[in-house]
Amino acid sequence: MKRLLLLAALVACNFAHAVEIQRWERIPLALPLIVGQERIVFVDQNVRVGLPRHLVDKLRLQSTGGTLYLLAKEPIEPTRLQLQNMSTGEIMLVDIIATPAKAEQPAPEPMRIVAGDKPGATKAAPHSTENISDDAAPARRETPLPVVMTRYAAQMLYAPLRTVEPVPGIAQVNIKRNLDLTTLLPTRPVKAGILGAWRLEDLWITAVKLRNTSSQPVALDPRELMGDFVTATFQHPYLGAKGDSSDTTTVYLVTRGHGLPESVLPLTIGLIDPKGARREE
């Protein structure tokens, strides 16, 4: 079984809510807040935030691993924040404003800030050579395909369609929704069901819903997944107890050369507990 990789690049998908996507293109981004309601902002960079002194008592701001948690304690006039990339020093500008909540107003959806094209950036033309092949070389991707595919699948399932980032060449594939996935997490009290699948080049990605069937919370570990996977990414790191609002999540499984049905273990093998005991049928 191939080593599983938990994709940190998809921390933006850690909540099963719609995510507003904003692209940084040197234009200040608007970030409205509602007093008393926390808003989460995912940034595709490790950043630190410059907070004006007059907001210290008005705004609670926490930052960890490129994720910002903002909670306005009282109304805030339009104010500009600076987000600095810890690696490059680049500054992104975000304009916040906090207003009182209105009756039955929904909580603000998380926001994700992605990097736009740099000014003046152009695609370099290939160098001429006498030994060039007749077949065009595949386009070089800056982001690994499993990351691209997992992000796309998560957006297709949970983000508004207007915010889904297009991925050239990716296509949805048919897959049996009633596929028996008993062997996927055989040591955990979890029921699994397929939500959808997509293909790009020689990779397949399948989104699988996981639901806790026990009265105890379940911690999710990609190393416990049984099958032949390139990568595995949980939308949440744990499942709440059965009946709780957090008792369900999604795992995104990337496979190479074939889909999920050919990657999971046969049911007869699944009856053997990986720890050495035989499971009861």
Within-domain flag for 179 = yes
Within-domain flag for 56 = yes
Within-domain flag for 34 = yes
Within-domain flag for 84 = yes
Please check whether residues 163 and 217 belong to one and the same domain: yes
| pLDDT at position 175 | 85
Please check whether residues 37 and 93 belong to one and the same domain: yes
| pLDDT at position 27 | 86
Please check whether residues 100 and 165 belong to one and the same domain: no
Looking at residue 163, its amino acid is T
Please check whether residues 111 and 188 belong to one and the same domain: no
- CATH number for the domain harbouring residue 91: 2.60.40.1080
Q: Which of 82-91, 102-111, 136-145, 241-250 has the lowest mean pLDDT?
A: 136-145
Within-domain flag for 137 = no
User: What residues contact 79, with CB distance under 8 A and at least 6 apart?
Assistant: 52, 55, 95, 96, 97
Within-domain flag for 120 = no
How high is the mean pLDDT of the chain?
A: 79
* Domain, as residue range, for 57: 26-115
Within-domain flag for 131 = no
Within-domain flag for 4 = no
Please check whether residues 170 and 266 belong to one and the same domain: yes
Number of domains within the chain: 2
Q: What is the pLDDT of residues 260-281, one digit of tens each?
A: 999 888 765 444 454 544 444 4
Please check whether residues 259 and 168 belong to one and the same domain: yes
The pTM for the full model equals 0.50
Q: What is the pLDDT of residues 2-33, one digit of tens each?
A: 444 444 444 334 434 467 888 888 888 889 99
> Could you tell me the two tokens for 114?
């992605």
